[in-house]
Structure 1
C-alpha cells in the first residue's frame, strides 16, 4: 500500500534553526484530487500520535533529506482545534541550514504530510458538489516542508479511490491518463 500525500500552506520560521506550522488543517475541503475532494476531520491523527511510532520530517518527501524525527525529539507533533501542528528543530547540516534560510525568506512556505488509511479510516459520500472523502483516522508516516504546497500528485489520491466509488459518470480513461502523466 503506497502512502498518500497532501499539501497545504502555513510554514513559518519560529527562531533560528526552528520551524513550525500546520501540516494539515481540519474541516477544510481540499482542491479537486482527481475526481473527489477531501476533508480531514478532528482526531484523524490521534491514534498515530498515541501509538508512538517514529514519524519523520522530510524536505520534499525525499527520504535522503531527513530533517527530524519524533523518536529523536527533533520533531514535535500535536493535534489542536485547527489541525496537525508541528515544531521542528532543523539539523545543522547543509540542507538543514539551506531549508532554514529558504523558510525565513518565504521561498519554502508550505507543508505536506504522507499517510495511509486503514480500513474504516475514511468515509466516501456523493454530495451535490461532487464526491467527498472524509479522513477520520489515518496512519501518519511523515510531514514534509515544501516550496510547492499545492496538491501536486493527484495520482496518489486517485489510486486510493475505491473501485466503483466514482459512479457510472466517472471517466476512468481520463483518470488513468493523468496518473500515467505523473509517472513519466
Structure 2
C-alpha cells in the first residue's frame, strides 16, 4: 500500500450564487484541481512531478470522493455520491464544482473564496500499483515523476500560502535506479516533507 499523498496548488476558483423562484439560494465554487502535464516546483531539490491525462479516470468511475474544507473531514463541503461535488477530466485537467451546504462552514467557504482569501486547491490520493513513472532529465540533472493512475479520495479548497505534509512511497523511489550516493540521500530524508506545489499555467 502506498502512502497517502497531499498536493497543494494555487488555483483560480470561481464563485457563483443562484436563487430560483421558491427555491433556496445555491452557492457554488469551481475551477481546476490540477492541470495536466504541468511541472510542480522542485521537490526535495531532487525531482519534479506532473499529472498525466487519465490519471483520475478510475477514481472518477469507482470512488466516492469528498470535498473538505482545508482537509477537515468534519467540514464536508460536498460529495460525488449525491452530486454536490462534480469532477470531470477534460483536455486541460481535472475540473471541479462544489454546491456548498447552506450552513456555517459552507457560507464561510463561499465568502473566503469570493474575497480571494482562499485561492488554492489541494487533493489527497494514493498512487496505485504501477501508477507512476520516473524519467531522468540529464540536461537538468533532475528526475520527473509522472502520475499515471492515482486513487483520489478528496479535494479541498485551501488557503494560500500553505505547506502541507506529503509522503512519497518508497516503492517508487526504489524504481528510480539512482546511484548509491543519491539513494543514501533519499534514505536519510524523512518521507514526510513540506511542499508548496505551484501550478504553472
With normalisation by structure 1, the TM-score equals 0.86
Q: CA deviation at 1:136?
A: 0.8
| Pairs aligned (count) | 179
Residue 119, structure 1, aligned to residue 129, structure 2: yes
The 8 Å contact of residues 6 and 123 in structure 2, kept in 1 or not, is answered as yes
Change in Cα spacing, 1:21 to 1:131, as seen in structure 2 (3 Å) is same
Q: How does 1:117-156 map to 2 (within 5 A)?
A: 117-128=127-138, 129=140, 130-148=142-160, 152-153=163-164, 155-156=166-167
Q: Which runs of 5+ in 1 are unaligned?
A: none
* Partner residue in 2 for 1:110: 120
Q: List per-residue Cα deviations over 1:108-131 (Å, max 9, x = no partner).
A: 011111111111110012212201
Residue 32, structure 1, aligned to residue 46, structure 2: no
Q: CA deviation at 1:64?
A: 1.2
* Partner residue in 1 for 2:24: none
Q: CA deviation at 1:175?
A: 2.2
Equivalent-residue separation in structure 1 for 2:87 and 2:166 (angstroms): 27
Q: CA deviation at 1:7?
A: 1.7
Between structure 1 and structure 2, the one with the greater Rg is 2
With normalisation by structure 2, the TM-score equals 0.79
Change in Cα spacing, 1:77 to 1:148, as seen in structure 2 (3 Å) is same
Q: How does 1:28-177 map to 2 (within 5 A)?
A: 28-34=38-44, 35-51=46-62, 53-128=63-138, 129=140, 130-148=142-160, 152-153=163-164, 155-157=166-168, 161-163=172-174, 165=176, 166-170=178-182, 171-172=185-186, 175-176=189-190
* Partner residue in 2 for 1:9: 10
The 8 Å contact of residues 112 and 149 in structure 1, kept in 2 or not, is answered as no
Q: List per-residue Cα deviations over 1:35-80 (Å, max 9, x = no partner).
A: 32111111111111122x2100011111111110000110000001
Change in Cα spacing, 1:120 to 1:65, as seen in structure 2 (3 Å) is same
